[in-house]
Amino acid sequence: MDGQVSKEQLKALLSDDVETMLEEVVEAMNQARPGRIIDDSEELVRAAAGEFRRRLFEKALELRSQRETFSPSGEGGVAEGPMAQ
């Protein structure tokens, strides 16, 4: 199980990002004109979700990389594969 990421760890890292995304979605929905809610808000909500998805992946990758690099088993941090230098 060395190097694995837990849901709790990731959730703790993402709390600010979730808040930001929710604020952007709420603003987009509230700024949408009556009768044009989908047209006025869809792309803004999609952009907010896309940015959150990017941050989620980056933080999950960073967390996983840190867990492997600083593994207590002493096996982490060894580069392998075609990307190793």
- The answer to whether position 2 is within a domain reads no
- The answer to whether position 80 is within a domain reads no
User: Which structure tokens are listed for 73?
Assistant: 């088993």
- The answer to whether position 27 is within a domain reads yes
Domain that holds residue 34: 7-69
- The answer to whether position 79 is within a domain reads no
Task: Kindly write down the DSSP assignment for every residue of 13-46, as one continuous string.
Answer: HHHHHHHHHHHHHHHHHHHSPTT-HHHHHHHHHH
pLDDT of residue 58: 96
Over range 3-15, report the average pLDDT: 92
Q: What's the pTM value of the predicted model, to 2 decimals?
A: 0.73
Over range 24-40, report the average pLDDT: 98
Question: How many domains in the chain?
Answer: 1
pLDDT of residue 85: 43
**pLDDT over 80 (residue 4):** yes
- The answer to whether position 77 is within a domain reads no
- The answer to whether position 48 is within a domain reads yes
List, for residues 48-80, the tens digit of each pLDDT value: 999 999 999 999 999 999 877 665 665 544 444
Of 69, 61, 60, 23, nearest to 44 by C-alpha is 23
